[in-house]
Amino acid sequence: MRKKIVAGNWKMNTTVSEAVELAKGLVASLNEVPEDVKLVVAPPFTNLVPVSDVISGTSIALSSQNCADQEKGAYTGEVSAKMVKSVGCSYVILGHSERREYYGETSEKLVKKIKLALGEGLSPIFCIGEKLQERQDNIHFDVIAAQIKEVLFELSAEEMAQVVVAYEPVWAIGTGVTATSEQAQEIHAYVRGILAEKFGELAQEISILYGGSCKPSNAKELFACPDIDGGLIGGAALKASDFIAIAQSY
């Protein structure tokens, strides 16, 4: 059985007090979420500790939105996988399209990050997804295959078993345009097929999340697809009631 995961990527939103309020809202409604759905929250680095305090003792897991591609030392402004682990994270989002696009995150860097994260016992939520132009040019399958092969094919099966994949078509992120459930399922099945090329049966065990304008009104249809194992939620994760409603869609 694959793990069902609903993860909230808070991006560069929330002050400490706002983050604490949001986390408290989630804890208060946690009993409304099916037990087999794992909730993960990914606040900004500055809010990991206060949010960790709020969710401590609950089933909600903590994630960072990134980690450094170096272990430690003179890398001003960076936060290492070990630091992320030390504040109570069990997940780390890596390769988000916003990091690829605005911060020059390459597959080469992502291999280093994912290995360091795995070395600390963190589960990477590894993001992939094509841009609008790539879909229009009908090269989206190739783009996704390359994103997977360049990074995940560098892992051992033991390492891969700890990874969660998130398919986030760039054209659906923050745009209000969601991939249809058919489009999402098509890619998710394709991703699982590529993973099977390298990892065989293990591919059936890997959770593949959908992200991109996922909200309470469309989550049910997306989550009903056989290869969609949950969601990576941006905007709708900033409102406790919406995030909980998405998790309840299972």
Interacting residue with ligand 13P among 174, 197, 204, 205 (CB under 6 A): 174
Apex 194 CA angle, 193 and 195, nearest 5: 90
Report CA-CA distances (Å) from 71 to 44, 46, 77, 80, 164.
Answer: 20, 20, 13, 6, 22
Show the DSSP H helices in 48-106 as ranges.
48-55, 81-86, 97-102
Pick the closer one to ligand 13P by CB: 230 or 235: 235
**Catalytic site includes residue 188:** no
Question: Per CB under 6 A, does 232 bind ligand 13P?
Answer: yes
Please pick, among 105, 130, 134, 168, the residue that the annotation labels catalytic.
168
Considering only the stretches 72-80, 144-152, 183-191, 232-240, report the one whose residues sit in contact with ligand 13P under the rule CB under 6 A: 232-240
Residue 230 CB partners (closer than 8 Å, separation 6+) = 3, 4, 5, 6, 7, 37, 38, 207, 209, 210, 223, 250
Pick the closer one to ligand 13P by CB: 61 or 199: 61
Question: Per CB under 6 A, does 214 bind ligand 13P?
Answer: yes
**Catalytic site includes residue 186:** no
Pick the closer one to ligand 13P by CB: 9 or 80: 9
Considering only the stretches 51-59, 184-192, 207-215, 222-230, report the one whose residues sit in contact with ligand 13P under the rule CB under 6 A: 207-215
Interacting residue with ligand 13P among 43, 169, 230, 234 (CB under 6 A): 234
Q: Binding mask 74-103 vs ligand 13P (x if CB under 6 A, - otherwise)?
A: ----------------------x-------
Residue 76 CB partners (closer than 8 Å, separation 6+) = none
Write 180-184 long-range contacts (CB < 8 A, 24+).
181/221, 181/222, 181/224, 181/225, 181/228, 184/210, 184/222, 184/225, 184/228
Residues that bind ligand 13P (CB under 6 A): 9, 96, 168, 173-174, 211-214, 232-236
Active site amino acids: 96, 168
